[in-house]
Amino acid sequence: MRGRGGVAALPFPVIAMIGPSLVLAAFVVGYPLYEIVRLSLHEVSRFGMIRAFTGWGNFANVLADATFQASLWRTLIWTGFVVGGTMVISIPVAVVLNLDFAGRGLARTIVMLPWSVSLSMASIVWLWAFNADYGVVNTFLTAIGALPRGLAWMARPETAFPIEIAIGIVVSIPFTTTVLLGGLSSIPGDIYEAARIDGAGPWMQFRMLTLPLLKSFIGIAMILNMIHVFNSFPIIWIMTQGGPNDTTHILITYLYDLAFRLGRPGPAAAISLIMLVIVFSFTLLYLRMQGRERA
């Protein structure tokens, strides 16, 4: 069936089947968004009572807040280093795991195993490992003489945030490797055989064949990781709760701190909308890049 302008019209049975699902999805997404917008435009008590309309006042206050500015910059650093480090490590790991060797199944299982552990539990384990008094990191480094005494790793701004970035990379590798392995399995082996016949070595094959053919999967892994890492809460909150002295806050942890510790739902809602715009911009940028490549 064709509607006006030659656009295909859905038959009524199809509309009847998918209509309720679309309405439910619109409500599940739309109502929370409406509430966040409403809170961001009002002065709200710590108990959620709407007091007065402030317009863009919450946004102006948030944008002028030094802690917000520092958290925004730190969020970009956090996202860039975690996503970039994950991709740099995951690509060669996926290439190696795609090779045919004895024990490949076991090696894949070991790499994917951290994916089965919840992010909160992994953060707790790493927090114990870096404990100043009985952590395994201090125990090992003092035993080999690398440190004269144990360090309070998570109480020092210069060590806490880099450690959290490193942990973010480690926990992101299994998912990214899985995506890239899916891309590598779709590449026909004949082209590598032809390249070897033409005298191309492993590095030339990787640079001229693997990377170009894997580009779409790399893009998918990057944008999914960006969205996930940008909104990642457990690692930083469990390990430092934004401290010491707000030096490890990213936007999501600062938002939580504002809403539930300081009792300021209005500014917290404003930050959540700012984060939504940033993530949406990432997605649009990726889609535009994909469109240009296909063109």
Domains of the chain, earliest start first: 65-294 (1.10.3720.10)
Q: What's the confidence (pLDDT) of residue 216?
A: 84
Residue 3 pLDDT more than 60?
A: no
pLDDT band at 275 (very low <50, low <70, confident <90, very high): very high
Asked, as a colleague might, if the bond just before 174 is cis with ω within 30 of 0, I would say: no
Using a 10 angstrom Cβ sphere, with 0-12 exposed, 13-18 middle and 19 or more buried, the burial of residue 2 is exposed
Confidence bin at 1 (pLDDT 50/70/90): very low
What percent of the chain is predicted at pLDDT more than 70? 92
pLDDT of residue 257: 92
The answer to whether residues 35 and 48 touch, using CB atoms and an 8 Å cutoff, is no
pLDDT of 248 higher than 90: yes
pTM of this prediction? 0.85
Q: Which amino acid, 56?
A: W
Q: What is the pLDDT of residues 120-168, one digit of tens each?
A: 999 999 999 998 888 899 888 888 888 888 788 998 889 999 999 999 9
**Separation between Cα atoms, residue 166 and residue 163, nearest integer Å:** 5
**In percent, how much of the chain has pLDDT > 90?**
32
Q: How confident is the model at residue 74 (pLDDT cuts 50, 70, 90)?
A: very high
> Residue 8 above 80 pLDDT?
no
Residue 14 has pLDDT above 70, yes or no: no
